[in-house]
C-alpha cells in the first residue's frame, strides 16, 4: 500500500510493478487495433463502415490509455480514468449491439461480442485497469 507523509506529494506508482504489464497489454491492443482498423478501412470499408470506424475508435482509446497510464501526474491519471471508462462503455455497448444488431455488425471489431475474437481480454482489461487506477489514485492516504 502506498502512503505519503502529510504535506508531501504522493509518488506516482501507476507505471510500476503490475502497472507495467497493464501498459504493455494496452500497447499491444493499441498496435493490434490500429493495424486491424487500418486494414479494414483501406480494403473493405463499404462492407461494414460502422464496425470499422468503431475499430478505429477503439484503437485511439487504447493508444490514449497506453500513453496516459505510462505518464505521471494527476492530469494523466484523469485521462487514464476517462480512457479506460470509455473503453469499458465501448466494449459493453458494442458487445451488446453486435449480439442484437448483427446487420450493422456483419464483420467483427475489437469490441464485438465483448471481445470474443481477442479472448474476451477487451472486456476484462478495462475492469482490471479501473481497479489498478483506483488502487494507485493520487493523494490516497492509508
> What letter does residue 1 receive in the DSSP assignment?
-
C-beta of residue 23 within 8 angstroms of C-beta of residue 63: no
Q: Assess whether pLDDT exceeds 60 at residue 141.
A: no
136, burial (CB in 10 Å: exposed 0-12, middle 13-18, buried 19+)? buried
Digit-coded pLDDT (tens) for 20-65: 999 999 999 999 999 999 999 999 998 888 888 988 999 999 999 9
Q: How many other β-carbons are positioned within 10 Å of the β-carbon of residue 64?
A: 19
At residue 11, the pLDDT reads 59
pTM value is 0.85
At residue 131, the pLDDT reads 95
Q: What is the Cα–Cα distance from 104 to 52, expressed in whole angstroms?
A: 11
Amino acid at each position: 500500500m502506498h502512503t505519503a507523509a502529510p504535506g508531501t506529494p504522493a509518488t506516482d506508482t501507476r507505471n510500476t510493478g503490475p502497472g507495467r504489464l497493464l501498459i504493455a497489454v494496452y500497447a499491444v491492443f493499441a498496435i493490434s487495433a490500429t493495424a486491424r482498423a487500418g486494414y479494414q478501412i483501406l480494403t473493405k470499408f463499404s462492407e461494414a463502415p460502422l464496425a470499422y470506424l468503431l475499430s478505429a475508435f477503439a484503437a485511439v482509446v487504447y493508444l490514449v490509455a497506453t500513453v496516459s497510464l505510462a505518464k505521471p501526474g494527476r492530469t494523466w491519471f484523469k485521462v487514464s480514468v476517462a480512457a479506460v471508462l470509455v473503453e469499458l462503455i465501448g466494449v459493453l455497448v458494442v458487445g451488446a449491439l453486435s449480439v442484437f444488431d448483427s446487420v450493422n455488425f456483419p464483420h467483427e471489431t475489437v469490441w464485438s461480442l465483448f471481445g470474443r475474437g481477442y479472448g474476451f481480454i477487451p472486456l476484462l482489461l478495462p475492469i482490471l485497469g479501473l481497479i489498478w487506477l483506483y488502487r494507485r489514485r493520487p493523494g490516497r492516504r492509508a
